[in-house]
């Protein structure tokens, strides 16, 4: 845990550390707005396209499963959906050997003619399901298609991923991580062997300092975290995660100029960093651009609605604007999300 602005916030250390070395982290490509890793998958009933039989997702609990959400309303989306479906078909024996169920869901209410066209090009390796009224689509907040959702044996979100050129390899790696066959470091080494092999002694040492910095933050010791992040950027000046954390920590200490310097450099290197964008908005607010800061955070909520710190900070800005009802709503939302995450952590 860490303390920032008087509220306890969970920091996802592994995701930020991986982002700093130029990987393609799960967090940065997570294609669902309304759920996060660790959340329970919402209740939903799907309909088999051919037989019209209904399937309740709750029936899969006890075994891990993968859902592919696809659509084909425009050529680019159809092309990518075909690749995703073909990748799944090529991995059929991989899933069967591990007893991982696979569901493919046309999530856009495509016409029968479109679905038949797509499946004719793929073959009948998997059943196609429909999502009546796009109910599951809405509950998950799907905003990228095709999109994969990986669910563990307890019915909780284990990972999510969107389209990429190495889709099949990434999906296999995520399943292996889900099943405990490999850890993320092993999977990334296989996906990016040249990058891992090329990591210098300085980069490895910087990673140690960065990770220790996050340990200090979780212990509520920001003063002890600062020198660890500083050592990391001495070794690797372009260590994005350490730069961003130093920016946020300087902002917490009221050092706006130093905060801006670190954040500017860190966000050039890692523009999708949510902690960095939150701190940048806070810096804008501290400089008097309160309206711009609120707009930035509201835009950030579009893809990160399950981030409790984001709701908390937005609440503080609404409070500064005198919008007490909106502030209370954001505080409440942030508290509820954090409480859910804490309960899941305790159970695990």
* Confidence (pLDDT) at 311: 93
* Confidence (pLDDT) at 190: 80
What b/e string do you get for 261-279 counting C-beta neighbours within 10 Å, with b at 16 or more? Answer: ebbebbbebbeebbbbbbb
Number of residues that make up the chain: 348
* Confidence (pLDDT) at 304: 82
Cβ contacts of 239 within 8 Å, gap of 6 or more: 20, 206, 210, 232, 233
* Confidence (pLDDT) at 31: 87
Where are any strands of DSSP class E within the chain? 2-4, 7-9, 45-48, 54-56, 65-70, 101-106, 128-130, 147-151, 157-162
Per-run averaged pLDDT (10 residues), the chain, 348 residues: 35 30 43 88 94 92 93 89 92 92 92 93 86 94 91 92 86 91 81 64 89 87 94 93 95 95 93 91 95 92 85 94 94 87 52
* Confidence (pLDDT) at 143: 84
* Confidence (pLDDT) at 261: 95
Place of tokens 């159809």: 78
Q: DSSP per residue over 165-178, as a string?
A: TTHHHHHHHHHHHH
* Confidence (pLDDT) at 25: 37
* Confidence (pLDDT) at 287: 94
* Confidence (pLDDT) at 144: 84
Please report which residue ranges of 13-102 form alpha helices under DSSP H: 13-20, 75-90, 92-97
Q: DSSP per residue over 110-144, as a string?
A: --HHHHHHHHHHH-SSS-EEE-GGGHHHHHHTB-S
User: What domains does the chain contain, in order, with CATH numbers?
Assistant: 2-14+200-347 (1.25.40.10), 26-196 (3.40.30.10)
Dihedral over Cα of 42, 44, 49, 54: its sign: positive
Gap between the Cα atoms of 176 and 170, Å rounded: 10
* Confidence (pLDDT) at 341: 67
Measured torsion, CA atoms of residues 39, 34, 53, 98, in degrees rounded to the nearest 10: -40
């Amino acid at each position: 845990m860490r303390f920032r602005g008087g509220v306890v916030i969970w920091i996802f250390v592994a995701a930020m550390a991986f982002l700093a070395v130029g990987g393609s982290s799960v967090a940065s490509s997570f294609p669902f707005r309304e759920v996060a890793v660790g959340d329970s998958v919402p209740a939903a009933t799907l309909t088999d396209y051919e037989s019209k039989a209904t399937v309740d997702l709750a029936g899969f609990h006890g075994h891990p499963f993968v859902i592919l959400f696809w659509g084909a309303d425009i050529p680019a989306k159809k092309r990518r959906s075909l690749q995703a479906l073909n990748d799944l078909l090529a991995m059929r024996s991989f899933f069967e050997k591990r007893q991982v169920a696979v569901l493919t869901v046309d999530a856009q209410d495509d016409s029968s003619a479109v679905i038949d066209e797509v499946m004719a090009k793929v073959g009948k390796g998997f059943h196609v399901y429909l999502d009546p009224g796009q109910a599951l689509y809405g509950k998950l907040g799907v905003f990228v298609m095709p999109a994969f959702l990986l669910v563990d044996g307890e019915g909780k979100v284990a990972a999510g991923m969107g389209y990429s050129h190495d889709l099949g390899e990434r999906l296999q790696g995520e399943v292996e991580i889900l099943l405990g066959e490999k850890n993320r470091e092993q999977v990334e080494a296989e996906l990016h062997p040249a990058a891992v092999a090329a990591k210098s002694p300085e980069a490895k040492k910087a990673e140690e300092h960065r990770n220790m910095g996050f340990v200090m933050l979780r212990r509520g010791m920001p003063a002890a975290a600062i020198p660890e992040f500083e050592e990391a950027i001495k070794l690797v000046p372009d260590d994005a995660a350490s730069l961003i954390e130093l920016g946020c920590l300087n902002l917490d200490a009221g050092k706006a100029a130093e905060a801006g310097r670190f954040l500017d450099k860190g966000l050039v290197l890692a523009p999708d960093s949510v902690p960095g964008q939150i701190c940048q908005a806070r810096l804008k607010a501290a400089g008097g651009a309160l309206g711009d800061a609120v707009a930035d955070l509201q835009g950030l909520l579009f893809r990160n609605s399950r981030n409790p710190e984001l709701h908390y900070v937005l609440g503080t800005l609404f409070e500064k604007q005198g919008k007490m009802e909106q502030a209370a709503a954001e505080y409440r939302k942030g508290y509820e999300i954090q409480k859910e995450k804490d309960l899941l952590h305790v159970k695990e």
